[in-house]
Amino acid sequence: MALRSDDDPILTGGDIAIDSEDERNADPCTSRGCMWGKYTDGKVYVPYYITNHFSDREKAIIIRGLESFSSFSCIRFRPTQSNDRDWLSIESQNGCYSFVGRRGGKQVVSLARSGCLYHGTVQHELLHALGFNHEQTRSDRDNHIRVMLQNVQSGMEHNFNKIATLNQGTPYDYNSVMQYHKYAFSKNNQPTMVPIPNANVSFGNAKEMSRNDIARLNTLYKCCECPHEHIIKNKYTYTPVFSIEFGPNPPLCCFTVTEEVFSDVLTDDQRLPDQQKLQP
């Protein structure tokens, strides 16, 4: 583990940066306004600057993560402009970390060149910057995982504190990109988290955002502003989940769809992940 200097932010949850110990037991996103603002076109533009710490290949990984949000939400990460007051500074510091939500001014998102440059990790840290906490800190987590504090490293217990999260009407998701693995902060190679009621459930291995991660993001930022039900070809009804844009200046509508239903509507590069089948 890299040594941290006095100038580094305090970390909680392994990768959530805080300015002081006073923030440790609070959810910064519920104790202050933390969302990035929406523009009149319905999009949420988040300025970013990638420092020269990275190679071209490493920058490509970061940019892929940034641009992925535009394919399923109203979030648009864009390069900084001279008049931007708030922006994300993506740097290679000591580890992978981010503040939760919008802080104001320059806001560091650290993606260390050694260990952080993976698509899912980039999405994970960007979700923190957009206002999301870890899955295992959810207000309802005790119904889904058992925290084994006896296996947690001394002084790291605070990483398993529950937070009064707003769960956006979505269930606990073992496949969330925000879910840590079962041995996180273990002192003895024993699990620090065990799923309940089925201890054999696999979790903490997400390579990218899950369907629930996407749904929460769209709900928090009110990306889905169409009616709750849509009928296409007078044949199928869909409920909001995924973001699809039709035409040059469409309203942002969200659908849960099947691949076959949209086979004649979407191009190959618009296929949606984790599509859920609905009954006609």
So what's the pLDDT on residue 51? 96
Q: Looking at residues 30-56, what average pLDDT do you find?
A: 88
So what's the pLDDT on residue 29? 61
Q: Looking at residues 7-13, what average pLDDT do you find?
A: 49
User: Could you report how far apart the first and last alpha carbons of the chain are, in Å?
Assistant: 53
Q: Where are the beta strands (DSSP E) in 51-151?
A: 75-79, 87-91, 96-99, 106-111, 145-147
| pLDDT at residue 68 is higher than 60 | yes
Annotated binding site for Zn(2+): 124, 128, 134
**What stretches of 90-242 show up as alpha helix (H) in DSSP?**
119-130, 211-220
Residue 228, H or E segment:
none
Q: Which residue is catalytic, options 23, 58, 91, 125?
A: 125
CB 105 within 8 A of CB 86: yes
pLDDT digits (tens, 9 = 90+) for 104-145: 999 999 999 999 999 999 999 999 999 999 999 998 999 999
Residue at token pair 């535009």? 70
CB 91 within 8 A of CB 109: yes
| pLDDT at residue 1 is higher than 90 | no
So what's the pLDDT on residue 206? 93
| pLDDT at residue 226 is higher than 60 | no
Residue 18, H or E segment:
strand 16-18
So what's the pLDDT on residue 245? 39
In whole angstroms, how far apart are CA 10 and each of 6, 39, 198, 218? Answer: 9, 32, 35, 29
Q: Looking at residues 211-232, what average pLDDT do you find?
A: 72
- Comparing 108-122, 245-259, 265-279, which segment has the lowest mean pLDDT? 265-279
Strand order across the 75-79 sheet? 10-12, 16-18, 96-99, 106-111, 87-91, 44-50, 75-79
So what's the pLDDT on residue 225? 58
Q: Looking at residues 229-245, what average pLDDT do you find?
A: 40
φ/ψ of 5, rounded to 5, equals -90, 170
Q: Which percentage of the chain shows pLDDT scores above 70? A: 69
> Active site includes 91?
no
Environment class of residue 155 by beta-carbon count within 10 Å: exposed (0-12), middle (13-18) or buried (19+)? exposed
Q: What is the pTM of this model?
A: 0.75
| pLDDT at residue 47 is higher than 80 | yes
| pLDDT at residue 264 is higher than 90 | no
Q: Looking at residues 229-252, what average pLDDT do you find?
A: 40
So what's the pLDDT on residue 8? 55
pLDDT digits (tens, 9 = 90+) for 182-209: 999 999 999 999 999 999 999 999 999 9
Top-level class of domain 10-130: alpha beta
Q: CATH 3.40.390.10 spans which residues of the chain?
A: 10-130
Higher pLDDT pick, 37 / 278: 37
| pLDDT at residue 78 is higher than 80 | yes
Mean pLDDT of the residues in the chain = 77
- Comparing 13-22, 85-94, 141-150, 235-244, which segment has the lowest mean pLDDT? 235-244
Q: Which residues contact 272 (CB under 8 A, 6 or more apart)?
A: 72, 242, 244, 257, 259, 262, 266
